Amino acid sequence: MCAACGRIRERPGGEVCEHCGAATADGAAADGASGDEDDAAQDGGTGTRGTPQRRAPLPRDRDEEGRARSARPRDGLGRPLPYGSPGVARQPEGVVRTPAQSLTEAQRLLDDGMPFHAHEVLEDAWKAAPEAERELWRGLAQLAVGLTHAARGNAVGGTALLDRGTSALAPYADAAPYGIDVAGLLAWSRELTGRLTGSGAVPAAETAPRLRTTGDTTENRPTA
């Protein structure tokens, strides 16, 4: 499980989480996979037979339906907080929405400066989408995660996820469904990527893109 976003890793051996771009070291810590240092300190550096001992993995947090999901509270950008801290409620997982509902809810969250939470909505849409649209929704979710990293000041993670989202969305530029402004999103992603090198955190709400062109003439452009 990834400590940064709480999702189950699809490729545990990869360098970063496929969902949020966090390094795999965070995921190992979240699973309680390594407790060698604490055990070594208690045993004087070795176990009873003179070999390092490993602590048994801690039980994973699970949601109401029994699925593995981190229960740690998170801030408005999805960063884990200590257990018991006040946090921002995450989006419920596995909600079935129409494409229009998914886009409306994701846009609301983006406008409120919560791209991590918008990515959770878009990820549900990706998982429920027909095969022909899966990369479209996956690309939208990756752009939301890219903005999340950019708002956290993580230029490397932001660039990586924005690039992946751009690649996933590009094939839909000529025939985007549901009024999704794919061309505008591609331009927004490339411009934001160009701004991230050597820059600090960007303001999430002010930098949020517009997902659709229908009924909305707001320009898809990151603010300075």
User: Domain residues of the chain, as ranges?
Assistant: 1-71, 99-207
Is domain 99-207 annotated with CATH 1.20.1440.80? no
Q: What are the Cα distances from residue 49, in Å, to 46, 94, 207?
A: 7, 47, 57
In 3D, which of 89, 163, 94 has the Cα closest to residue 123?
Answer: 94
From first to last of the 224 residues of the chain, give the pLDDT tens digit.
466 565 545 555 555 665 566 655 433 332 322 233 233 333 333 333 445 556 656 566 655 656 565 778 898 898 888 888 888 888 888 889 999 999 999 999 999 999 999 999 999 999 999 999 999 999 999 999 999 999 999 999 999 999 999 999 999 999 999 999 999 999 999 999 999 976 689 999 999 999 998 554 444 544 44
d(CA 28, CA 63): 20
Alpha helix locations (H) across the chain? 24-30, 36-42, 99-111, 115-128, 134-152, 155-169, 182-196, 204-207
pTM beyond cutoff 0.75: no
